[in-house]
Chain A
Amino acid sequence: MAEVQNSNPTILNVADLPTRSRSTKKSGDYDYTSGIFAAVPNPADFLSSDSEDDDLLEEPIDEQEIFDLIKLISDPEHPLSLGELAVVSLPDISIKPTLPNVPSSPLQTVTVLITPTITHCSLATVIGLGVRVRLEQSLPPRFRMDVRIKEGTHSTGDEVNKQLGDKERVAAALENGALMQVIAKMMETCR
């Protein structure tokens, strides 16, 4: 990158970013949903009276979890995370059933709206691709990704959205070594 496009971005304090712990504090219970116990099912799930299919015991994935998956992705041009730069934010993430008319369908659509730091950021596509790749690699395949530029925040938003929504282009990008190096670098801070 020859030149930094946005040399003075607004930065949020990491401590101010939304986390799950704040909401669970009120009950005083141990926080089962984070840290090394994340993989251990909450006993409450087993105690609940619903005794339907086994898959229903699968821990539901919510917006906070999606945010946690992508907030630590590094910006390609700043040593800062997408969460700190408010490129991704909790209110701009939503999860909806993909087929609302088929109640039995397990398909869910995750929509992530991206707010580039400047309206003409040429890296918007790379950032969007990074978010999409991160989610595809982390979430079960029953999720459909809908990663888009938030309306009105980018000069060529529609163009970027069309690329990010094109399954074939995304698949081809994943086989592009140079591009994947950039994406891998952005992901380094996620682990």
Chain B
Amino acid sequence: MAQTNSHLTLLSDLTPPSLERTWLTSPHPTLPIVATCSSDKTVRIYSLTNFKLLSTITGGHKRSVRTAAWKPHISGESVLATGSFDATVGIWRRWDNYGTNTNPTEDNLAEDEVDAEDEEWRFAVLLDGHDSEVKSVSWSPSGMLLATCARDKSIWIWEDLDDGDNNFETVAVMQEHGGDVKCVSWHPVEECLASAGYDDTIRLWREDLDDWGQVACIKGHGGTVWFLDWEGVDASPAAASVDLQRQWREQVSLSGPRLVSCSDDRTARIWRRVPKESASAAALSSAATGIPSIIRPTGTDENWEEDACLPHAHELAIYSVAWSRRTGLIASVGADGRIVLYEERFVEGGPNTDPGAGAGADSEAMDTTDDAAPSPSSLRTGWSIVAVVDGAHGIYEINHAAWAKRADRASESAGTSEEEVLVTTADDGSVKNLDRIEAAGTLHWQDPVLK
């Protein structure tokens, strides 16, 4: 089998690091900067151009900052939402005049003195409503809505009124989850929210006639679901044939972007919405077999099914998954300190091919199409592990991974402006930038030199 191995090599640490556990790093949607949340109650803003600390947001939260998200689609200003164990959500603003500069320490020195006030992160508003630790925050694709979730089992949706007065209005409070809600994540283009948590479920939410309600509840994981991420809208598996890709896009356009989840049960799974037509066909066939369907889809109900379970690669809980919207690669990280990269490929052969025939789980493609699935065999895909990095943060657990556009000088000189880096965040407080290099051969891992 012709196979390209992806290599992850350490590009750089982000320095100086937090001295305490870091939970998550959120890359800015347009600028080459990231926000890292720390147990020391602060958020650190680092540059992806020189990997140095640009500023530290302090004084807003009384306990660990667990999560952060950048508001999309605004220009001239950056807006960051932060969620903390202190049960509050903070909104921070700052004029965009740094981060794009490759050497801010020298060039901006004089400017710093003049515009000291503009350099600061301005605390805008504290969103109060949750009863306990806030675990995740997410902005809708338009940037109009902010979803937050907490240990109090609730999900809140806030509307940013954008009235220049930092007013947010509570649009909905959803309390269907049976335990902590660990993660909220908006669909890449639609106003559809996915959530997951301690009750082992993944739920999907949409607005129907002014009311936000649950449209699907996915049960499949055997433990807390820690994190969710959506597939990009234009993604498709690598294929030699343009025709294959066109067919794939047609199929995908019916079900929409897929969702990847990871769990305490040590698995990462991919979920696909069953297109409405085939869902009713399934209902018809159940009528034909005489077995009554207990699921009665109303206008808004959606049927989600497992599309794939990624090849087993983690020995402990998987805390985060990141689905690259540029390359379609998925990265997973967890308590075992491992980073694993998965790639989806079209699988040759008919439905009778036994996917479990090979012994090497690491390179063996896993079958992802159910026997009953109606898709033509030419559109079968499988996920293979293309890279594994053990001990990526030494002995520490890795809490989060995120893809970001590479922005350092080395990449510019190489002319690979679309290259991506994987930013991982761990218990030791360090944040690392991993560079993905396509090459053949064995995996190479370079030890951190900046520590």
Contacts and interface: CB of A to CB of B under 8 A. Distances in A.
A102 B39 contact: no
Nearest to B63: A175
B130 to A, nearest CB: 13
A165 B133 contact: no
Contacts, number: 55
A166 B198 contact: yes
B64 to A, nearest CB: 6
Nearest to A143: B395
Interface string A101-140: 1100111000000000000000000000000000000001
Interface in B113-134: 132-133
Interface of chain A: mostly helix, strand, loop or mixed: loop
Nearest to B133: A172
Interface string B131-142: 011010000000
A179 interface: no
A172 B85 contact: yes
Contacts of B180: 166, 168-169
A106 to B, nearest CB: 6
B39 A167 contact: no
Given A98-B315, A171-B39, A175-B85, A165 B264 contact: yes
Nearest to B182: A168
B33 to A, nearest CB: 26
B17 interface: no
A162 B198 contact: yes
Given A141-B396, A175-B85, A98 B427 contact: no
Contacts of A98: 315-316, 336
Given A98-B336, A144-B335, A168 B135 contact: yes
Given A141-B427, A162-B224, A175-B64, A169 B335 contact: no
A145 B424 CA distance: 22
B6 to A, nearest CB: 20
Contacts of B223: 162
A142 B397 CA distance: 9
Interface in A141-176: 141-142, 144, 162, 165-169, 171-172, 175
A99 interface: yes
Interface in A78-115: 98-99, 101-102, 105-107
Contacts of B264: 165-166
A141 B132 CA distance: 28
Interface residues on B, range: 20 to 34
Nearest to A141: B395
A171 B399 CA distance: 13
Nearest to A165: B264
A172 B198 contact: no
B17 to A, nearest CB: 15
Contacts of B66: 168
B64 A172 contact: yes
Contacts of A107: 336-337, 395
Contacts of B198: 162, 166
Nearest to A146: B316
Interface in B356-411: 390-391, 395-397
Contacts of B85: 171-172, 175
Given A105-B391, A107-B395, A166-B224, A141 B336 contact: no
A81 B132 CA distance: 32
A144 B316 contact: yes
A142 B319 CA distance: 18
A132 to B, nearest CB: 14
A103 to B, nearest CB: 11
Interface in B152-181: 180
B428 interface: yes
A169 B264 CA distance: 13
A186 B108 CA distance: 53
A171 B335 CA distance: 14
A151 to B, nearest CB: 17
Nearest to B86: A175
A166 B198 CA distance: 9
B21 interface: yes
A6 B441 CA distance: 63
B63 to A, nearest CB: 5
B151 interface: yes
A175 B135 CA distance: 15
A102 B63 CA distance: 36
Nearest to A140: B395
Nearest to A163: B198
A33 B264 CA distance: 37
Q: Which of A142, A162, A172 has the most CB of B within 10 A?
A: A172
Nearest to A106: B395
A168 B223 CA distance: 14
B36 to A, nearest CB: 16
Contacts of B64: 171-172, 175
A124 to B, nearest CB: 18
A141 B426 CA distance: 12
B100 to A, nearest CB: 34
Given A107-B337, A144-B335, A165-B264, A172 B151 contact: yes
Contacts of B317: 167
B50 to A, nearest CB: 29
Given A167-B397, A172-B63, A172-B133, 12 more contacts: A99-B336, A106-B395, A107-B337, A107-B395, A141-B395, A144-B335, A165-B264, A166-B180, A167-B335, A168-B66, A169-B180, A172-B151
Interface of A: 98-99, 101-102, 105-107, 140-142, 144, 162, 165-169, 171-172, 175
23 contacts: A99-B390, A106-B395, A140-B395, A141-B427, A141-B428, A144-B335, A162-B198, A162-B224, A165-B264, A166-B180, A166-B264, A167-B335, A167-B397, A168-B66, A171-B39, A171-B64, A172-B63, A172-B64, A172-B85, A172-B133, A172-B151, A175-B63, A175-B85
